[in-house]
Amino acid sequence: MRIGITCYPTYGGSGIVATDLGLELARRGHQIHFISYAHPIRLDTSTPGIHYHEVEVSNYPLFQYPPYMLALASRMFEVAEREQLDLLHVHYAIPHAISALLAQQMTTSRRLPFITTLHGTDITVVGAEPSYFSITKFSIEKSDGITTISAYMRDRTFEFFGVANPIEVIHNFVNCSLYRPDEERQSIGPKRILHISNFRPVKRVLDCIRVFALVRKQVEAQLVMAGDGPDRGPAERLARELGVDASIRFLGKQDNLERLIPEMHVLHLPSETEAFGLAALEAMACGVPPVATRTGGVPDLITHDVDGYMETVGDITGQADRIVSLLTDQSLHRRVAAAARATALARFCTDLIIPQYESYYQRVCNGYGT
């Protein structure tokens, strides 16, 4: 198939999932055309079947804000016509779904269906804004197909927007050949706890620091913070106040997590809410047990006390206790790590999930998406 994919090209779960999906589809023989204002961070355009089309936005003085939605719609239309795309797949509802709808209406030579994948904050944060609610609901209802990454997100969409369209749950995925355990690298140096996020308040980055301060009272460990965002400064200040800054490494944004994660012993994900928990899945594939919060779509992924742990949001002591147990009880760590890897292999590997997208694409192209 010839598929156009649009996503936000910055660090964040929706862009990463969209990019990895395109790469996996290309490896399966599809022609994938990424259409965005910048090159997605994980996109390797040397991969056969991958193409990138930049959206140029006018800076005409009349416009107080550059009209990206219109420029994107025009670019989608141009690429769809020239490359004879079979469908458009947009990730994150606003503004991508509306741009896809405009491109579809501009295409008169044939049918050009579009699929919208809802990733989380496009529904729970952006879509909840009064100024965006109606347009978000409209974009969902006009999509030829709708997918989302967890049962939680499907239920929230139905509940919040009251849409009648069927929504297909297709979970996030991980390349289990790329993300895999490395016991030799893990055995070098101190025990290491990893946090990966965009450091927004919803990720509760400060909880990572508070939990680590409790862990350090019992275990000689190091905290590795991968990512960046508005809460990095406050996290660094809190680390100094609690006297643990010398044992914390702030790495900033990282492109090659498949190299970093296998060095770790525990992943800490204390989020206020998570649509799914992609960082936890990538850690599980590497045999790194996750300690997360019981929120959002995380229960779709983690089975408590089997392949990871889920504690209450804000329960600093409970999260710290779980991490300490994993870092001090070798047999427990070995059991949970093996179960985490087994879950990734059995439920979330690309060979299991990508065919679900291919099947859904075919259904939408045949008129059976909604």
What is the per-residue pLDDT across 38-52, written as a single tens digit (0 to 9) for each? Answer: 888 888 889 999 999
Q: Write out pLDDT tens, residues 269-299.
A: 999 999 999 999 999 999 999 999 999 999 9
Q: Write out pLDDT tens, residues 313-358.
A: 999 999 999 999 999 999 999 999 999 999 999 999 999 999 999 9
Average pLDDT over residues 118-127: 69
Residues 18 and 144 in one domain: yes
Which of 38, 50, 42, 37 is CA-nearest to residue 18?
Answer: 42
Average pLDDT over residues 61-82: 89
For 203, the token pair is 């990720």
Please give the Cα distance from 243 to 247 (Å, whole number): 9
Please give the distance of CA 252 from its chain centroid, rounded to a whole number: 17
Residues 147 and 242 in one domain: no
pLDDT of residue 133: 86
Average pLDDT over residues 15-33: 95
Residues 163 and 221 in one domain: no
Give the CA distances from residue 142 to residues 93, 110, 145, in Å, rounded to whole numbers and listed in that order: 11, 17, 9
pLDDT of residue 124: 61
Rg over CA atoms, the chain? 21
Residues 145 and 86 in one domain: yes
Residues 166 and 45 in one domain: yes
Residues 299 and 359 in one domain: no
Average pLDDT over residues 144-166: 91
Residues 140 and 220 in one domain: no
Q: Which domain holds residue 203?
A: 183-348
The residue length of the chain stands at: 370
pLDDT of residue 220: 94
Backbone angles phi, psi at 307, to 5 degrees: -115, 15
DSSP reduced 3-state for 269: strand
Residues 49 and 156 in one domain: yes
Establish if 370 belongs to a structural domain. no
For 355, the token pair is 């065919």
Residue 365 CB partners (closer than 8 Å, separation 6+)? 1, 86, 87, 113
Establish if 178 belongs to a structural domain. no
- In the chain, DSSP assigns E strands to 2-6, 31-36, 50-54, 87-91, 114-118, 145-148, 168-169, 191-197, 221-227, 248-252, 266-269, 290-293, 309-311
Establish if 38 belongs to a structural domain. yes
What CATH number did the domain enclosing 330 receive? Answer: 3.40.50.2000
Please give the Cα distance from 213 to 245 (Å, whole number): 10
pLDDT of residue 236: 97
**80, 106 contact by CB (below 8 A):** no
Residues 229 and 247 in one domain: yes
For residue 127, is pLDDT > 60? no
Largest CA distance in the chain: 68
Domain count, the chain: 2
Average pLDDT over residues 25-49: 93
Residues 341 and 359 in one domain: no
For residue 135, is pLDDT > 80? yes
